[in-house]
Amino acid sequence: MIKPEEALRIILEEVRIQPFEEVELIDSFGRVLAEDVISDINVPPFDNSAMDGYAIVASDTAGASKKSLRRLKILGELKAGDVSNFEVTSGFALKIMTGAPIPLGADTVVKKEDTDLGDDEVSIFCEVEKGKNIRLAGEDVIKGERIFPTGVHIRPQEIGLLASLGKSKVKVFKLPTVAILSTGDELVEIDEPLAPGKIRNSNTYSLMAQVISCGARPFPLEIARDNVDATKRLIEKGLEVSDTLLTTGGVSMGDYDVVKDVLDDLGAELKFWKVAQKPGMPLAFWRLGEKLIFGLPGNPVSTIVCFEEYVRPIILKMMGRSHIFRPEVDAIFEHDLQKKSGRAFFVRVNVKTKDGKHYVSLTGPQGSGILKSMSLANGIAIIPSETTLVKTGDKVKVHLIDLPEDH
């Protein structure tokens, strides 16, 4: 058996970033840029008004107050999207709307709240400094500026900025396809009745959801029964259609655990099998050509935890993401917990925040088949292999799978 940190190191060394593709701007949401984005324009492209008001010469307002008004003749009105033919000189004003280009001669905008809103003439109640309420050309983006480097994760705000630059298409790293194969004669599909000795196939669905949450594409396969031929056929299909294959079950030491034998026959290189952890000790990892293969344990919690700790980071890395790990916090344990030395424990916990500190409590029984306690968890506490006792009040490392609530 190897330690969890060694298993993760081996896995990450095998990851290759996906090639790029060009997509429509809106389809790039959630993806990762595969190009540097250089602006070929200024944003905004011209000086424009930040307020509804009047474009004026600032010196005309010197000494102005509610007791000492400054009156200016109005040349006309300028809406956003229009261009003025007027030149503003001393003694004159041009009514202007937010976003409209600053007319020739004007060097400031007085907001309408500081005027009497006159039609032919306008009275100004205060002194306005030069350049006030004007958004300068290039204030947001300067022509020739590198706006985004390769590797940026595209959120709604990046979509907006790319749109302002006129980027209707962008280059992004391709989304990996992840094939999912659940194995076992005991499994039935979720809409089938439960016969004696059978259980429903939950692993395929939890894994599909986890893959989708990463932004990748899941490809579920039919259930593989516990025989070599069926397992081989479905593994070959999974490898054909995917970049990464996840199997669940069939990697322990039972007489009907055939996944390892099939992959050995296919020439896959076993990188490791068995990790000193609980749950998820039988975890296995192979490489076959450019394809990565995970042999996840069959117990539902083991499957979810192993995905979180090992599969999720590699999917995000394949997609070009730079932040591939869950946020990690130090938290105060609210229970006593005993364990044997030699294996790290991944413990399902609920994380709460109070007065700026994180506190964690167990979500219930920690058996690897108990999904309810996984459902109640928003974090996974990491108890090191050498630790045998965690006392109430001790600090532990926690990987956040959801944001904690404040209390």
Tens digit of pLDDT for each residue in 107-157?
999 999 999 998 899 999 999 999 999 999 999 999 999 999 999 999 999
pLDDT for the residue 320:
95
- Portion of the chain with pLDDT greater than 70, in percent: 98
Q: Give the tens place of pLDDT for each residue, 228-287.
A: 999 999 999 999 999 999 999 877 766 557 899 999 999 999 999 999 999 999 999 999
Residue pair 105/89 in contact (Cβ under 8 Å)? The answer is yes
The span from the CA of 181 to the CA of 294, in Å, is: 10
Residue corresponding to tokens 């069939």: 250
d(CA 235, CA 18): 22
Q: Distance between CA atoms of 250 and 293, rounded to whole angstroms?
A: 13
Alpha carbons within 13 A on the beta-carbon side of 140: 16
pLDDT digits (tens, 9 = 90+) for 303-323: 999 999 999 999 999 999 999
| Biggest CA-to-CA distance, the chain | 97
pLDDT of residue 407: 55
pLDDT on residue 254: 64
Domain 328-406 has CATH 2.40.340.10: yes
Output the pTM of the full model.
Answer: 0.86
Please give the CATH architecture assigned to the domain spanning 4-17+175-318. 3-Layer(aba) Sandwich (3.40)
Mean pLDDT of the chain: 95
**Could you state, in order of their start, the residue ranges of all structural domains in the chain?**
4-17+175-318, 20-43+139-173, 48-135, 328-406
Give yes or no for residue 373 having a pLDDT over 60: yes
Q: What token pair was written down for 189?
A: 């599909």
pLDDT, tens digit, for every residue of 180-237? 999 999 999 999 988 899 999 999 999 999 999 999 999 999 999 988 999 999 999 9
Q: Residue 301's closest CA among 269, 324, 278?
A: 278
Identify the pLDDT of residue 404. Answer: 81
With 0-12 / 13-18 / 19 or more C-beta atoms within 10 angstroms meaning exposed / middle / buried, residue 150 is: middle
3-state secondary structure of 356: coil
Instruction: Average the pLDDT over each of 180-184, 336-340, 361-365, 401-405 and give the range with the smallest value.
Output: 401-405
Q: Which of 209, 212, 240, 222 is nearest to 181 (CA)?
A: 222
Phi, psi of 333 (to 5 degrees): -80, 135
Q: What is the CATH number of domain 20-43+139-173?
A: 3.90.105.10
Is the predicted pLDDT of residue 77 greater than 80, yes or no? yes
356, pLDDT greater than 70? yes
Q: What is the mean pLDDT of residues 31-45?
A: 96
Over range 374-393, report the average pLDDT: 96
Joined together, the tokens standing for residue 82 give: 């229009």
**Using DSSP, how many helices (H) and how many strands (E) does the chain show?**
8, 28
Residue 251: the pLDDT is 76
Asked if residues 159 and 27 have their Cβ atoms less than 8 Å apart, the reply is: no
Q: Classify domain 48-135 by CATH number.
A: 2.170.190.11
Residue 393: left if φ>0, alpha if ψ -120 to 50, beta else—which one?
Answer: left
Instruction: Give the Cα separation of 43 and 144 in Å (integer).
Output: 11
- Whether residue 9 is predicted with pLDDT greater than 60 in this model: the reply is yes
Q: Is the pLDDT of residue 375 over 90?
A: yes
